[in-house]
């Protein structure tokens, strides 16, 4: 008889991204090279396409599957995916170099930001956008608001 289960499996948080990727196996390999992901499980279907793949980056899981439009799994739209994956790491400069070496393209240069992060954005070879960051300073809301005003004074930024 099966034992009672925890409603949230060990190692998971309440929200876990599940990405449908054209080439999920290759994407898992890329995530391992670029971000130090560890592959937990890989389940190919009868056609060889991955029905499920689970990787862990830091303390978070990411689910991957090949695209199956015939089963309602959305297909990639030419250009990019309409989301960013945020990755906080202890040393963003090191992970930035690793990501670029693995094939990512910088879309926002890595720099210190007004909200206290060292932050930059890359687009990976599969079309996903990653926001890479290390928290450098803990700011109060008032400090952040003041820095934001200074950062955008004289600009047309949002």
pLDDT in tens, 44-103: 988 889 999 999 999 999 999 998 877 776 666 666 566 789 999 999 999 999 999 999
Structure tokens at 40: 């937990």
Task: Tell me the two tokens of residue 12.
Answer: 């998971």
Tell me if domain 11-76 and domain 78-158 are identical in fold: yes
Is 60 within 8 Å of 106 (Cβ atoms)?
A: no
- When the candidates are 3.30.720.120, 3.40.630.30, 1.10.260.40, 3.40.50.720, the CATH number that belongs to 11-76 is 3.30.720.120
CATH topology of domain 78-158: 3.30.720
Domain boundaries, the chain: 11-76, 78-158
Phi, psi of 107 (to 5 degrees): -115, -20
- The alpha carbons of the chain give a radius of gyration, in whole angstroms, of 18
pLDDT in tens, 3-44: 777 877 787 787 889 898 889 999 999 999 999 999 999 999
Phi, psi of 95 (to 5 degrees): -70, -30
Q: For the ranges 21-25, 65-69, 109-113, 121-125, which has the lowest average pLDDT? A: 65-69
pLDDT score recorded for residue 76: 63
Give yes or no for residue 145 having a pLDDT over 70: yes
Confidence check: pLDDT of 157 > 60: no
H/E segment holding residue 32: helix 24-35
Residue 141's pLDDT band, with cuts at 50, 70 and 90, is confident
């Amino acid at each position: 008889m099966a034992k009672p289960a925890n409603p949230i499996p060990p190692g998971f948080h309440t929200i876990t991204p599940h990405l449908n990727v054209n080439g999920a196996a290759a994407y898992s390999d890329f995530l391992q090279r670029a971000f130090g992901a560890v592959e937990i499980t890989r389940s190919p279907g009868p056609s060889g396409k991955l029905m499920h793949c689970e990787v862990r980056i830091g303390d978070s899981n990411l689910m991957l599957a090949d695209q199956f439009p015939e089963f309602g799994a959305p297909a990639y739209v030419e250009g990019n995916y309409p989301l960013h994956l945020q990755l906080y790491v202890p040393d963003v400069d090191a992970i930035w170099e690793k990501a670029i070496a693995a094939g990512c393209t910088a879309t926002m240069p890595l720099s210190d930001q007004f909200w206290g992060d060292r932050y930059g954005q890359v687009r990976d070879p599969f079309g996903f956008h990653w926001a890479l960051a290390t928290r450098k300073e803990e700011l109060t809301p008032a400090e952040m608001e003041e820095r934001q005003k200074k950062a955008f004074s004289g600009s047309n930024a949002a």
